A and B are shown apart, each in its own frame.
Chain A
């Protein structure tokens, strides 16, 4: 059982740079989710995919954020022109098809914007 994996685990970047994170879901899961979590807060929903289709995107998500899942397997989350407020833990999760299914989380990518 490989579980959900994320890469990199840590990323330090300078303000204004672009960053990209990768998530590999559990192989038999069709749904993939992205969340952002800051210290002392619960995960905040960003977006999710059903196979390669992006079904929902938080209206709080800036245009600087974009996510893809081109072949319905791994996904990438890109943040353009990073700001200090983007510093957070970015979590990926996957689940079987259907609303209300339990989500299994990866270890997260910790982003620090200097």
Chain B
């Protein structure tokens, strides 16, 4: 059974205080690791796709990296508008489905 574990569950930062979110996964046929942002009451918003270990993607203050067992979402100098829940998901090509983690809820205080 595929497993995706995200840590920490919640993270509170001061504006400008950089940090990282972790996503550990166990999947038999990994074909893509995805990061999404979700605001309360809304559907997830796609951020990044990573396909192979060593791959990195960047967008504004966010940078996603991938190893064979985990992925990190680095947030540099966050702003209050970065406050949201960040979800990690994997696509298992053997099982033919996605598995999501339970997310990290980020709060950035001004």
Contact = CB atoms under 8 A, between A and B. Distances in A.
B96 A103 contact: no
Contacts of A103: 34, 46, 98
Contacts of B95: 56
A107 B42 contact: yes
B34 A33 contact: no
Nearest to B29: A99
A44 B4 CA distance: 12
Nearest to B43: A105
A110 B4 CA distance: 25
A40 B42 CA distance: 13
Interface in A21-67: 33, 35, 40-45, 48, 55-56, 58
B87 A102 contact: no
Interface string B85-99: 001010101011111
Given A45-B99, A48-B97, A99 B43 contact: no
> Which one of A33, A45, A93, A101 has the greatest number of beta carbons of chain B within 10 Å?
A45
Interface string A83-114: 00000000101000001111111111010000
A48 to B, nearest CB: 7
Nearest to A41: B102
A87 to B, nearest CB: 15
Contacts of B55: none
Given A56-B97, A105-B45, A42 B32 contact: no
In the A-B complex, the 6 residue pairs with the closest CB atoms: A100-B32, A42-B100, A105-B43, A100-B31, A56-B96, A100-B91
8 contacts: A4-B43, A42-B102, A43-B100, A44-B100, A45-B97, A100-B31, A104-B46, A105-B45
Given A99-B91, A100-B49, 18 more contacts: A42-B87, A43-B87, A43-B100, A45-B97, A45-B99, A48-B96, A56-B95, A91-B43, A99-B31, A100-B31, A100-B32, A100-B51, A100-B91, A101-B32, A101-B49, A102-B32, A102-B49, A108-B43
